[in-house]
Amino acid sequence: MGMRAFKYIILYFLFMATTAVNADMDINKQEEAIKSASAIWNTAFSNRDIPLFLSILSSDVQMASAGGKWQTQEGTKRFLEQLFKRRPDITWVNTSREININLAWNVAYESGDWVEDWTEPDGKAIINGRYFALWKQEKSSWYLHAIIFIPLNCSGPSKYCNKK
């Protein structure tokens, strides 16, 4: 092999290594953007800030849990208004555990744990479980496109946990 061919091989490997490093950096940057958007859920819910909550949702978002399902930003707005009225002390926290990103398709998968609690007339109800989310990137921002909540445990003195 000549020196010229050897130089081209070295240049090729340097290019490939640089491309891989740039892709890893972009994945890390995108993962941080999703984590930030995901954290808005907790902040907005805690502060009862419905406009902020809606800001992370795609216009055609779909959400589901064992207790029901809601769709679109408008449907989510109505759901939250009713929920906050019915359960004024409700808390809901999502804790992200895993994020995987497909940059070629501008989508990401997030999974984690969730817990919510509120007071019923006969005492506290606490539900926890897992969630699975689909994020889509649109115009360089990440929006929640779909999310499913799976309750794994219900506890507390309220009889609410016995009615399911």
- CA dist 74 and 80 (Å) reads 10
Q: What is the pLDDT of residue 19?
A: 42
Q: What is the CATH number of domain 3-162?
A: 3.10.450.50
Contact 36, 55 (CB under 8 A): no
Q: What is the residue extent of each domain of the chain?
A: 3-162
Spell out the per-residue pLDDT of the chain, length 164, in tens. 566 665 555 554 444 444 443 445 588 999 999 999 999 999 999 999 999 999 999 999 999 999 889 999 999 999 999 999 999 999 999 999 999 999 999 999 999 999 999 999 999 999 999 999 999 999 889 999 999 999 999 999 999 998 75
SS3 163: coil
Using the Cα atoms of residue 40, residue 46, residue 49 and residue 51 in order, give the sign of their dihedral: positive
- CA dist 143 and 110 (Å) reads 12
User: In 10 A of CB 49, how many CB atoms?
Assistant: 14
CA distances to 42, 115, 116, 120, 141 from 156, rounded to whole Å, are 22, 13, 12, 10, 39
Q: What is the pLDDT of residue 17?
A: 44
Beta bridge partners of residue 101, listed in sequence order: 108
The residue assigned the tokens 């070295």 is 10
